[in-house]
Structure 1
């Protein structure tokens, strides 16, 4: 590539990296005090990303075969490209925190991916060779996908929250099903072997009778955590709102609490496998109990819980206590 054209590309790429760094370091000024319309925001962002995708395509096509563009033409294309990605960034920075921290985070991640793909594609244009040409097609496809992904982003903080709660419920369900399969396998083998033969088995691969007593109330606590997330998701879909800052803030707070549940479940389930670590189980039970109770108590005070929903929140709180009360004597008696 000619030195003049190379310099134009280096300057353009440096500017892109600077914009990316600013995006990674922070999300710009909070413009919640300014007039803002969420529908207008999405229209602006979609138009900007489509324009960016088109300009990248033009650039790659121009450098796909001779004669290659000269300095002036290259500079013009890269400046047009810069205008497109700066418009995308400006659209993102216009999204105020009052629309929801989770929504901002989702959009931020999408824009970051676009900028990272953009830098990779434009850098590949400066490189030569048939292999690079083929790789550039793949990289350009990744950028197109990243731009198109904007169309599929959740449109408001309620949608983001519903997606996260559903995802976390799925993670808890996966952990529960794995341990249930292990228990079912153990029960089947336990019946076939009998107690005397079992005593001769490798105790690192099977549960003893004391372990088995702990399994079901532990799984009961995990099931309660899963039921809590499932009911919250259903209630959010029916009653969730995002019209006021308080409602949006409650959704953000909910996500923070919800994200604590699946790691707590994973910690408990992981120490339930043989050989069971009783001290680890005791600690993990206490953490999960606290997390689920905190989640349910917070939910009870939120806008999306109607009077008729207090029944299931109280029922689930009692289920937490019930399983914990069954566990504590067993954990104390464990040596």
Structure 2
């Protein structure tokens, strides 16, 4: 009898899983703009219902083996609630751009994945005397709770989703800034400075040992390279300001995100995010090229790309109903830092060529 019950439960479960899989395919399709948009609050409330159903599942396993009918009824109630949750989630993507849709899909998929694991485990544990299996069900119930609770943190608007994505870029750029500030001159330069200051030779030797590990890590820059690194710090620092002001500009337009704004408004936001991510890539490239030997050509190329991106950003922001003067000032500041760094690079190249010419003259 136990084997027949288990087989029956497996068939019932597979039927429900197939239905949910079919509904999931709907989420991959863009809903028609003519459909009524479902508020994210409704999705969250339905998520709470999924969480409650998971609690009921857990309660079935606190005592003796539950009756087959009770398990089947509970399973049907759970998957009906889950399917309603998926349909509402799809409705919430009306007017959503790629970034918001991606956030919604990720949160929804987490709820579905946890639900599948829970229901599959309940069927697997049915009739088992293994205490470890029965302990696994409460743990999986907790996973469903967490996934449903995380829905409250999912962005509900395009602006919020894009703002968060830009914040991630800002964090990455700040990491590059921190690494650049950790760059140090070569130990030989430190030794020369110590000798000029009249420091004892023994102390200079200790200083060399202390910085030997830095040299191995590539933090051994010549005076000319340090000047370029310092100018790069200015560029990266000003980039963080640009991204910060861009985020402020976008979040300040929360009231503008209305249905009558049309897809063009969302497209503009998505373009700004793409440009922001592109500038993050160029900053990573810039930071990587500053470790010795510094790649001057690659650095110049990165600076040119950053300048191009800033111009495109300004063109998009200027098309909005309200233009941000602070964002414009941030862009001007970044361009000024780029100009300064390009000047340092040119001076470095001139100095390098002069040094090589001098060496040729001496050898002759």
Shift of 1:229: 0.3
* Alpha-carbon displacement from aligned partner over 1:203-239 (angstroms, at most 9, x marks no partner): 8541123322321222222122211101112222334
Residues of 2 paired with 1:255 and 1:27: CA distance? Answer: 22
Unaligned runs of 5+ in 1: none
Going from structure 1 to structure 2, the CA distance change for 1:256 and 1:210 (only over 3 Å counts) comes to: same
Partner residue of 1:319?
A: 336
Shift of 1:173: 1.3
Partner residue of 1:222?
A: 236
Pick one of 298, 310, 313 that aligns with 1:295. 313
Is residue 54–residue 78 contact of structure 2 (8 Å, CA) maintained in 1?
yes
Going from structure 1 to structure 2, the CA distance change for 1:94 and 1:191 (only over 3 Å counts) comes to: same
Residues of 1 paired with 2:249 and 2:306: CA distance? Answer: 22
Shift of 1:177: 1.5
Partner residue of 1:207?
A: 221
Pick one of 55, 63, 82 that aligns with 1:85. 82
Residues of 2 paired with 1:325 and 1:43: CA distance? Answer: 50
Partner residue of 2:276?
A: 258
Under a length normalisation based on structure 1, what TM-score does the superposition of the two structures give?
0.82
Going from structure 1 to structure 2, the CA distance change for 1:235 and 1:43 (only over 3 Å counts) comes to: closer
Residues of 2 paired with 1:331 and 1:286: CA distance? Answer: 18
Higher Rg:
2
Shift of 1:65: 3.2
Is residue 23–residue 87 contact of structure 2 (8 Å, CA) maintained in 1?
no
Shift of 1:277: 4.0
Going from structure 1 to structure 2, the CA distance change for 1:88 and 1:65 (only over 3 Å counts) comes to: same
Partner residue of 1:48?
A: 46
SS of 1:31 mapped into structure 2: coil
* Alpha-carbon displacement from aligned partner over 1:244-279 (angstroms, at most 9, x marks no partner): 123333222222222223232222212323443445
* Alpha-carbon displacement from aligned partner over 1:58-81 (angstroms, at most 9, x marks no partner): 1232134313221x3222211111
Unaligned runs of 5+ in 2: 196-203, 354-364
Measured on the aligned residues, the alpha-carbon RMSD in Å equals 3.2
* Alpha-carbon displacement from aligned partner over 1:76-123 (angstroms, at most 9, x marks no partner): 211111111100110011124424332222111100111111111122
* Alignment pair present for 1:104 and 2:101: yes
SS of 2:95 mapped into structure 1: helix
Which deviates the most, 96-105 or 168-177?
96-105
Is residue 205–residue 275 contact of structure 1 (8 Å, CA) maintained in 2?
no
Residues of 1 paired with 2:25 and 2:289: CA distance? Answer: 37
Partner residue of 1:231?
A: 245
Going from structure 1 to structure 2, the CA distance change for 1:259 and 1:133 (only over 3 Å counts) comes to: farther
Going from structure 1 to structure 2, the CA distance change for 1:190 and 1:158 (only over 3 Å counts) comes to: farther
Alignment of 1:186-201 (within 5 A): 186=184, 192-194=190-192
